[in-house]
Amino acid sequence: MYQYNQARASFAHRANDVSHPLSNYLLRLMELKKSNLCLGADVASARELVHLADKIGPSIVVLKTHYDLVAGWDYNPQTGTGAKLGALARKHGFLIFEDRKFGDIGSTVQMQYTAGSARIIDWAHIVNVNMVPGKAAVDALAEAAAKWRSRVNYEVKTSVTVGTPLADNYEENAVDEEDDRLAPMEPSSSGNYAARQQESRKGSIVSITTVTQSFEPVDSPRFSNGNHDGHDVVYAGIEEPPWDRGLLILAQMSSKGNFMNKEYTQACVEAAREHKDFVMGFISQESLNSDPADTFLHMTPGCQLPPEGESEENGVVEGDGLGQQYNTPSKLVGLCGTDIIIVGRGILNAGDQQAEAERYRRRAWKAYMQRTGR
């Protein structure tokens, strides 16, 4: 399905053609950072995940998570792990992709997406779906995202005013009106009954607090109102991402012997075309944009580089012995036409993770530049 003439267009040019706001943002971010790298951050603890996101953030445009394998995930919506990742995403300029692979009936995937302890929709810009249950799963997620979008793009503005009635107004109105309700008072030890009564009346003056709220539209979201370790800043050169959420359809896999045949993949393409306002693209091994109107993005796992100094050997790298098959950035981006490579263990297991992330970023970007003739 790979159409080389479409793949020769630059990310900046394609940003003008996509219909999804988040795709537009991501393509512009890729050009700005000169990166088409996604880090598969499959680590065991929340502390390690946040540290890794901060360290590798400058090299990537997408951070891929599996929240359910992370020990110590803090679910607090304002100060928890999702909020901290959101602050780092703003600081370094990347999107968060929760690799949830939804694969159930419509009502279940809606709840998994929007409810429960994780509330994935609140902190993950992108999620993905396994199309085995059929198109209904895509329909349900699109509906849930639309409802969430309609609610969260407003922030509450609260105005509080506190004041005390003026003395003149109080004596003319409040005191006189209460005279008939005041119970008779015993004279004080000084015998000054009038002074005691006036003292009682003054003591009944209270402050008046007025609270008003209004809902104002917000075009650009904040994951929380807090500042996490000074990271509540926005990456220079681009605005914050839009409120919109995006879906990737799992159309092809890199594991050996998977059951995703051509018919399944074609059904994924058809579902994506029916939901261009929500579906950003695919998890795939090649570009699936076969129609001139297709503007989908493609993210590809199973990418690995040979050790520094070794040739790429036709773009294929030895697998992991557990079914995973590896291809190089040159093959995936340059020959197969994918847009973003997803790298996990190739970076995580490196002695110098930052240097290795930069090596992957440079190789993937070079393959993109060669593909587009730049």
Dist CA 12 CA 18 (whole Å): 11
**How many Cβ atoms are within 10 Å of 288's Cβ, its own excluded?**
25
State yes or no: 344 annotated in a binding site. yes
160: Cα within 13 Å, side-chain hemisphere: 4
Decide: helix, strand or coil at residue 348: helix
DSSP assignment letter at 208: E
Can you tell me which residue has the tokens 């890729």?
30
For 19-54, the DSSP string reads S-HHHHHHHHHHHHHT--EEEE---SBHHHHHHHHH
* Alpha-carbon distance values, 166 to 163, 180, 203, 251 (Å): 9, 22, 14, 71
| Catalytic-labelled residue, pool 54, 55, 74, 104 | 104
Dist CA 15 CA 21 (whole Å): 9
| Catalytic-labelled residue, pool 34, 101, 135, 366 | 101
| Catalytic-labelled residue, pool 33, 84, 91, 99 | 99
137 close to 103: Cβ distance less than 8 angstroms: yes
Dist CA 226 CA 139 (whole Å): 34
State yes or no: 176 annotated in a binding site. no
State yes or no: 324 annotated in a binding site. yes
277 in catalytic set: no
Rg over CA atoms, the chain: 29
Parallel, antiparallel, or unpaired: how do β-strands 326-327 and 316-317 relate?
antiparallel
Nearest C-alpha neighbor of 223 from the set 148, 150, 152: 152
- Give strand pairing partners of 316: 327
Decide: helix, strand or coil at residue 178: helix
256 in catalytic set: no
State yes or no: 90 annotated in a binding site. no
91 in catalytic set: no
Annotated binding site: 42, 64, 254, 324, 344-345
Annotated catalytic sites, by residue? 99, 101, 104
Annotated binding site for substrate: 42, 64, 254, 324, 344-345
